[in-house]
Amino acid sequence: MDKNGQISKDEATGKVAVVTGASSGIGKATAITLAQAGYKVVLGARRMDRLVRLAAEIDGIAMHLDVTDPASVEAFTSKIEKTNILVNNAGGALGLDPVAEANEQYWEWMYQANVLGSLRMTKALLPKLEASNNGHIVLVTSVAAHEVYRSGGGYTAAKHAQSALGLTLRLELLGKPVHITEIAPGMVETEFSITRFEGDQKRAKQVYENMTPLSAEDVADCILWAVTRPPHVNIDTIVVKPLDQARAREIHRSTTA
């Protein structure tokens, strides 16, 4: 980054990947994986202490980003001169209330973080991705983008909408040098459940009891594979789940003595 806070031309001439929600979980693992593959990674998240440490580890660039805030997105994206890859990873879930008891603030946040956040980042960086002549937009959704389950209405609605955003982009960008990939993970042991249950560590841990979930690195591997295919290849959707998970709520859990 130069003295004016812009991504420098030297950095921009190589492979540059932007990863949102990069301070932990899938975002962090993706940033590390892409950096190891030779990308200059621009990290965006709200928790700058974590972000700065990660940037130092991978020789990346850390900048504050809150995808639910249009002004934050504008400030972040205005500093990026060129990029090849945008990984829309920021998002999450809050609560497990049935529709009849829905917390509208939770629903609004989930829509802002998962859907409008991806929309804002994509709108801002699309001209630069297209100008790279081999751009790639990755939307990290969920199996919840493809099925519903009881008490998950807010999250499944948001993830279905995020998936629809990607499908629409695929049509609108047909003939242009921009790839669109949706990565839809099943159960991944990250801070996802801690956020959903508002910091309740015990309840979050129970989600993964007696089964083997995916790791963040497993999902990052899928992202790396998708974005490193030949330019004429587009990986539309990857649904990746643990062997112990068949559907959102169909889980094999080993019995314990």
The yes-or-no answer on residue 111 being catalytic is: no
- Three-class SS of the chain: CCCCCCCCHHHHCCCEEEEECCCCHHHHHHHHHHHHCCCEEEEEECCHHHHHHHHHHHCCEEEECCCCCHHHHHHHHCCCCCCCEEEECCCCCCCCCCHHHCCHHHHHHHHHHHHHHHHHHHHHHHHHHHHCCCEEEEEECCHHHCCCCCCCHHHHHHHHHHHHHHHHHHHHCCCCCEEEEEEEECCECCCHHHHHCCCCHHHHHHCCCCCCCECHHHHHHHHHHHHCCCCCCCCCEEEECCCCEEECCEECCCCCC
Q: Of 39, 111, 149, 155, which residue is the catalytic one?
A: 155
Catalytic residues: 155
